[in-house]
Amino acid sequence: MENRRSLISEPVPPENVIALSRPAHSLHAVLCDALTSNRGLLARLELGVNAPPEARAAVRDLYVQIRQTVQALLRCLELPDLE
């Protein structure tokens, strides 16, 4: 076992290995940021969008998905000890 190669014993990691850094922001902060962005987009969509007829279905789908995303983000932020 002493002659067995491992990443720990290698002085330089192989080219296909990268160091994973710790995320800069907590999950809670990222969720809050996403919620703010999605609420802004939702508010803009609720003001009304001028779209050609062929784009209206896509804009409506976007509106529905953003509403669901906002609701899901709110539920996640209510979870205790989410990290």
Per-position b or e across 39-60, b if 16+ CB within 10 A of its CB: eeebeebeeeeeeeeeeeeeee
Q: Is 5 among the domain residues? A: no
Task: In whole angstroms, give the CA distance from residue 39 to residue 59.
Answer: 16
pLDDT tens per residue, range 21-46: 777 788 899 999 999 999 999 999 99
Assess whether pLDDT exceeds 70 at residue 2.
Answer: no
Question: Model pTM?
Answer: 0.68
Q: Is 9 among the domain residues? A: no
Average pLDDT of every residue of the chain:
86
Q: Is 69 among the domain residues? A: yes
Q: Residue 8's pLDDT band (boundaries 50, 70, 90)? A: low
Report the domain count for the chain: 1
